[in-house]
Chain A
Amino acid sequence: MSRLARLGLSGEELEKLAAQLDVIVAAVASLSAADISEVEATAQVGELRNVTRADVPAPGLSAEEALSNAAAQSAGFLRVPAIQ
């Protein structure tokens, strides 16, 4: 699971985290006692619907601004280690 989360945890860290998560998950399992038959899930509160915008382009960031925080760049591109 931590691999999916891309956290690079060491073995020792994983063990400690797993133990803590077990406790949390056990506590959270109390959720299963709730009676949720016939209940809709709420992904967002507020009943907003159909919030859209018109298809009009507007200026964004310059290339310099876009790359201003990137640690590694090359000829205007962002640079990352190769995808294998």
Chain B
Amino acid sequence: MTLLEEPIRALARRLRARELSAVELAQEALGRIRALDPAIGAYLRLTPELALEAAARADQALARDPAGASPLCGIPVAYKDVLCTRGVETTAASQILRGFVPPYSATVVERLERLGVVPLGKLNCDEFAMGSSNENSSYQTTRNPWDAGRVPGGSSGGSAAAVAARIACATLGSDTGGSVRLPASFCGVVGVKPTYGRVSRYGLIPFASSLDQIGPLTKTVEDSALVLTAIAGRDPRDSTSVEAPVEGILGQLGAGVKGLRLGIPKEYLKVGIDPSVRSVFDQAAATLERLGAELVEVTLPTTEFALSAYYVIAPAEVSSNLARMDGVRFGPGFEGDTSLREAYDSARHRGFGEEVRRRVTLGTYALSSGYYDAFYLRAQKVRTLVARDFERAFTEVDAIISPTAPTAAFELGERTGDPLAMYATDILTLPANLAGISGISVPAGFAAGLPVGLQVLGPYLGEATCFRVAQSMEEEAKVWRQLPPLSRVTA
């Protein structure tokens, strides 16, 4: 139906075989976006000129050195709008950054550009990545390509929807409490949260500095492995980034699950998982067992406190990270005759949406004297316990599996009135952020016609294990061969 249905390696082969050009591929992508995105709302802005220029350069690079060019050369991609792109407006889906044109690009963007990707545009998300449904964007709504009345998940909802609707071959999102894995699950695509430090955060507009990681969203596991391999690696500009080998991620992809011990945390199954989601998960687990994995029950006792710890640490860090949004060096200016204090207040009041204000206030509270010990410090200690739980579990098993989310995609507007209910969406994903370990969501099946993802968690720097389990799952479930309703261009 469309070239964008094909995995990256297949497209790479076609490009080198001159069956198509990168420019043609880019045009196909842009055409599909124009036809389909009005109903989906994944893109905040398109960069067609940049795309076609990059595609032309990619064609030249492929002609010059087809063997040496990266598999990503000429591949159309898009970035969550929390990633700075030099010369292209970057808003983090917030009004306070309306019109902000960064004079620099994020490291991950630079790395991909050097390999010759074709940048299609910037993707919608929850404002400053805060949210689980993408409904906190201050610009537009993004709809789930499987059901337009439902959320795509958040906060990288645009990134997931674009891949699901085949209007990008790969996208980058960011994951702080599940913001890549969750929308990947809701939209039936693959989403990765790398080990903390694996991928440079330089140029990522931060939410929670100690939890954020940039990760790919793609149709297939191999595509994600290709993208992750390309963006990973120590960056001198990010002091929290680590140097770690990436060869195993692609190298072990086809190793299968035979002989692997897969842990199922008993606490995760107790969190009120929708029966149809549970059913998909049980089937997935059974499949993996059939393929040769050993299923083991593990315990992560601190799970009950993880949600609370997260909702102290993340708001605390973001309240500080957003302090620089003062309207002075960027953002809306000050109107009329105001005092400095009024100017700050007014710029931030107009510029920040309700969820952002809620979390910034909560975070400010958690850090203030008198509350610091009871909240922030305590949460950081609980975090140590969460990390230790995983360390202990990983001495017994090679990877941990669970549903990515307690439910499939819910309806637009269903949880916006109840912050706590919204926060609970992340309950299965956020512990991995607290511990800094690696995680991936791979489509495992459907519940009432909606995609359900299997989450695979690996130890610190253990992506290779996560990916190979996910690959096995994908080969069995083959969800990526099915296309959502909103991905069909009606003539």
A and B touch in their complex, CB below 8 angstroms? yes
Give A contacts to B, CB under 8 Å: 1-2, 4-9, 13, 17, 20-21, 23-25, 27-34, 36, 39-46, 48, 51, 53, 61, 65-72, 78, 80-84
A84 to B340, CA, bound (A): 8
- Of B332, B362, B374, which contacts A32 at CB under 8 A? B374
| Residues of chain B whose beta carbon lies under 8 Å from any beta carbon of chain A | 99-101, 103-104, 196-197, 210, 236, 239-240, 242, 302, 304-305, 307-309, 311-312, 319, 323, 326-334, 337-346, 348-349, 352, 357-358, 360-365, 368, 374-375, 377-385, 387, 419-420, 423, 435-436, 460
Contact B361 A61 (CB under 8 A): no
With both beta carbons as reference points, the residue of chain A lying nearest to B388 in the complex is identified as A39
Chain A residues within an 8 Å CB radius of B360: 5, 7
Q: Could you list some 26 contacts between A and B, CB below 8 A?
A: A2-B357, A5-B364, A6-B326, A17-B357, A17-B358, A20-B358, A20-B419, A24-B362, A25-B365, A28-B308, A29-B308, A36-B385, A41-B380, A44-B240, A46-B196, A48-B239, A48-B242, A51-B240, A61-B104, A68-B103, A70-B329, A71-B331, A80-B328, A81-B342, A81-B343, A84-B339
Residue of A nearest to B239 (CB): A51
Given contacts A45-B387, A78-B328, contact A6 B345 (CB under 8 A): yes
* Inter-chain contact A21/B358, CB cutoff 8 Å: yes
Collect the chain B residues with CB atoms within 8 Å of residue A51's CB.
239-240
The residues of B that contact A84 with a CB separation of less than 8 Å are 339-340
Q: Known pairs A32-B378, A46-B240. 17 more at Cβ < 8 A?
A: A6-B323, A7-B361, A8-B342, A24-B419, A25-B362, A27-B307, A27-B420, A39-B384, A40-B381, A42-B381, A42-B384, A45-B387, A46-B242, A46-B436, A51-B240, A70-B328, A84-B340
CB pair A23 B311 closer than 8 Å: no
What chain A residues lie within 8 Å of B333 (beta carbons)? 71-72
A4: nearest chain-B partner, CB-CB: B364
